[in-house]
């Protein structure tokens, strides 16, 4: 089998994540192709798409989000993702065990002795009336389960049912509490039978490959995917990395020349490209932690330089600050891209860009 260097893996992943060249795609199409976008911070996906799509404008995401063509919901790894409505309906049945397992692992003591099925059903009845926040759910459920830990009641409903985060939260520049609706009610379509594990793995490889079995398991939160890869082996191509681990890929997926230039890219906090492999060396060579700063997102994140996570950035007022552990090369190109980011986030303001050592 051919061996792929970390740089070759880097360029292949960047190409599929639309980070080598911005794509001329509608936002909804891009979200589907990317197998969703990490979206804990409501505004982060706007910057994620701005870095990936040519001439992206806020309304290109805000309008389909308001129209419920895309939704924010808990899926892969039990974390919040932005996905198309169709993907949300198909992914939930397959990934629901991941979300439930994460909840039970975190609240094992609090849920002891509770009838979780009854709590979920009571939560479903409440959400069928109208969207509710987690606090509203636990307050409404507390009289029926007075001895239960109240926050756990809200998280149980949030983890056991397919829920969509409702707008206006998630619309650029708007605020609102984190409120939830039943996914089927919110998008007006029923939950499907679920995406097959084979199709899920193929979607993953299309967005993040070449990858190992462990990479796919880390991204999804699912276990025991080795048999899925073995079943798919006849239709896949294989490589090894520099440590000899077997990598799987789609035969026709892009694998650019490792020397392909990678322009600087400003990513939002917790971007998919940084979190979707068990071995993150292809984009994080020094193993640094991926920060998740507080706030609504869109004003802080990470910077890729030559395809690698080498700095963090933040916008305060109309000033963009870029901090790295060592002086960054090609600061002129970074500043040009930073100026475009400032124009997107804080248009019509006097802009300033500052480089510093830290991060």
DSSP-derived 3-state class of residue 58 = coil
| Cα–Cα distance list, 122 to 7, 189, 190 (Å) | 51, 21, 20
Q: Give the per-residue pLDDT at 82.
A: 98
46-78: per-residue pLDDT in tens? 999 999 999 999 999 999 999 999 999 999 999
140-198: per-residue pLDDT in tens? 999 999 999 999 999 999 999 999 999 999 999 888 889 999 999 999 999 999 999 99
Q: Give the per-residue pLDDT at 174.
A: 87
For range 344-351, the mean pLDDT:
89
0.85 cut: is pTM over it?
A: yes
For range 269-289, the mean pLDDT:
94
Please check the confidence at residue 39 and state whether its pLDDT lies above 80.
Answer: yes
DSSP string, 124-182: HHHHHHS-EEHHHHHHHHTTTSTTS-HHHHHHHHHHHS-EEEPTTTTSTT-----EEEE
Among 306, 260, 264, 255, which Cα is nearest to 285's? Answer: 306
Q: Give the per-residue pLDDT at 175.
A: 81
For range 87-99, the mean pLDDT:
98
For range 321-345, the mean pLDDT:
96
212-266: per-residue pLDDT in tens? 999 999 999 999 999 999 999 999 999 999 999 999 999 999 999 999 999 999 9
Q: Give the per-residue pLDDT at 110.
A: 95
Q: Give the per-residue pLDDT at 359.
A: 62
Q: Which residues, 6+ apart, have CB-to-CB distance to 261 below 8 Å?
A: none
Is 135 in contact with 129 (CB distance < 8 Å)? Answer: no
Residues of the chain above pLDDT 70, percent: 99
Angstrom distance (rounded) from CA 87 to CA 240: 31
Angstrom distance (rounded) from CA 122 to CA 135: 15
Please check the confidence at residue 3 and state whether its pLDDT lies above 90.
Answer: yes
Place 297 in a pLDDT band, splitting at 50, 70 and 90: confident
Q: Give the per-residue pLDDT at 348.
A: 80
Angstrom distance (rounded) from CA 40 to CA 270: 8
| Cα–Cα distance list, 101 to 161, 175, 238 (Å) | 13, 31, 31
The Cβ of residue 246 has, within 10 Å, a number of other Cβ atoms equal to: 13
Q: Give the per-residue pLDDT at 20.
A: 97
For range 331-357, the mean pLDDT:
94
Q: Give the per-residue pLDDT at 333.
A: 97
Q: Give the per-residue pLDDT at 322.
A: 97
Residues of the chain above pLDDT 90, percent: 92
Among 225, 202, 208, which Cα is nearest to 280's? Answer: 208
């Amino acid at each position: 089998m051919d061996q792929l260097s970390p740089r070759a893996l880097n360029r292949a992943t960047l190409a599929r994540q639309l980070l080598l060249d911005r794509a001329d795609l509608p936002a909804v199409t891009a979200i589907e192709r990317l197998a969703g976008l990490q979206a804990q911070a409501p505004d982060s996906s706007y910057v994620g798409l701005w870095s990936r799509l040519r001439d992206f404008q806020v309304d290109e995401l805000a309008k389909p989000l308001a129209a419920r063509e895309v939704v924010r919901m808990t899926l892969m790894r039990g974390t919040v993702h932005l996905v198309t409505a169709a993907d949300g309906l198909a992914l939930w049945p397959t990934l629901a065990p991941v979300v439930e397992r994460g909840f039970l692992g975190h609240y094992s003591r609090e849920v002891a002795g509770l009838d979780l099925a009854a709590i979920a059903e009571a939560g479903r009845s409440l959400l069928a009336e109208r969207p509710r926040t987690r606090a509203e759910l636990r307050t409404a459920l507390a009289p029926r389960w007075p001895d239960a830990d109240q926050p756990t009641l809200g998280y149980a409903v949030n983890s056991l049912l397919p829920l969509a985060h409702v707008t206006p939260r998630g619309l650029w520049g708007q605020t609102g509490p984190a409120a939830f609706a039943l996914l089927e009610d919110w998008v007006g379509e029923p939950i499907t039978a679920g995406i097959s594990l084979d199709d899920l793995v193929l979607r993953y490889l299309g967005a993040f490959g070449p990858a190992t079995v462990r990479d796919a398991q880390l991204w999804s939160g699912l276990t025991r995917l080795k048999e899925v890869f073995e079943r798919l082996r006849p239709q896949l191509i294989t490589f090894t990395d520099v440590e000899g681990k077997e990598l799987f890929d789609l035969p026709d997926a892009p694998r650019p020349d490792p020397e392909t230039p990678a322009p600087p890219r400003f990513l939002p906090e917790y971007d998919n490209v940084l979190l979707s492999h068990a071995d993150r060396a292809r984009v994080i060579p020094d193993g640094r932690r991926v920060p998740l700063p507080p706030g609504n997102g869109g004003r802080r994140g990470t910077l890729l330089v030559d395809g690698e996570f080498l700095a963090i950035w933040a916008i305060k007022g109309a000033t963009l600050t870029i901090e790295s552990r060592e002086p960054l090369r090609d600061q002129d190109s970074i500043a040009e891209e930073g100026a475009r980011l400032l124009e997107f986030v804080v248009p019509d303001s006097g802009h300033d860009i500052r480089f510093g050592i830290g991060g």
